[in-house]
Amino acid sequence: MTPDQEPILTADHLRLRRCRHGTMMYNLNDAFIGTMLDLYGEFSEGETDVFRQVLRPGMTAVEVGANIGAHTLSLAKFVGPGGRVVAIEPQRSVFQLLCGNLALNGIEHVEAVHAAVGSAPGSIAVPRLDSRARQNFGGLSLGGAQQGDQVRLLTLDSLNLAACHFIKIDVEGMESEVLSGATETIKRAWPILYVENDRKEKSATLIRQLQDLDYRCYWHTPAYVRVPNFRGNADNRFPKLISINMLCAPRSRNFPGTGLREVET
C-alpha cells in the first residue's frame, strides 16, 4: 500500500481516507458504501461515468438521497464552482458525514439539506440506526416508521430552483413520491433524471409515471465494484451486486441514450 492509500485517521467506527473523488470520512460498519470506499476507494463508479456525460460546468444538479456524499463529490466536480448541487439526506448521522466530507474537500457550491423528499410537505419519522453496529445505512426505507427523528419532509417543487439540469433520485422505494412532488420543476426545466428502480413491485408504476411526464427511459445497471479501481484492489467481494437505475430524458430533446437499452412498456 502506498502512503497516499493508507488511512489518514481511524477513530472507533469512523475512518478518514483518500478516495477517487476526494478525501472521505465514512463508517466502517456500513456494509456497502462505507465498506466499498474502504476497500476500493470508490462506490458504483459506473454511475459517475453517466454523470460525467450529462453534466457541464455551471449546471444545477439535485441529489435526493445523497448519503455521505460518495457521488456528491463527483457531481460537484462536474458542475464546477460556478454550478450548484443541492444534496438532500434525511438520516442525521449520515447527513453529518455528508457535511463533513464537503467541508474536508473545501466544496462550497453544494447546499446540503437535512430533509426527506416526498409528494407533499410535512414531517416524517426517520429511524436512528446504530452507527456502531454493522448494517446497510444506505438501504433504510422511509414511510412506515413509527419511531425515530422527526425530519422535515419537503417537495422538490418547494425549492423553487431558478435552474435545474439534473436530478438523481435514490430513496429506497419512494422514487414515485419524489417525482410527484417535482412535477412543476420537471415541466419547467426538463432536467435529465437518474432514478433508481430496483423494487419489482413498484417498477411498472414508476416507469409509467416517467413516461406520462413525457420522458424516455433507459436502463443503466452498473456493477457496484469494478476492477481496476482507485485502490488497485482486484478482490471483488461483491461480484453479483449491481445498481438498477434508469437514465431518463425528455422526448423533446432527442436524447441518444448513450448506448443504453430503452425501457420497454
pLDDT in tens, 10-36: 899 999 999 999 999 999 999 999 999
How confident is the model over 100-129, as a mean pLDDT?
96
| pLDDT category of residue 3 using cuts at 50, 70 and 90 | low
Backbone φ/ψ region at 259: left (φ over 0), alpha (ψ -120 to 50), beta = left
Single out the residue of 85, 65, 84, 115 nearest to residue 245, CA to CA: 65
Measured distance between the N- and C-terminal CA atoms of the chain, rounded to whole angstroms: 49
pLDDT confidence of residue 171: 93
Cα angle, residue 254 at apex, residues 88 and 161 outer, rounded to 5°: 30
Q: What is the mean pLDDT of the chain?
A: 93
pLDDT in tens, 40-90: 999 999 999 999 999 999 999 999 999 999 999 999 999 999 999 999 999
Q: Between these two residues, 21 and 138, which has the higher pLDDT value?
A: 21
Q: Is the pLDDT of residue 7 over 70?
A: yes
Domains of the chain (ranges plus CATH)?
A: 43-262 (3.40.50.150)
Distance CA 153, CA 141 (A): 14
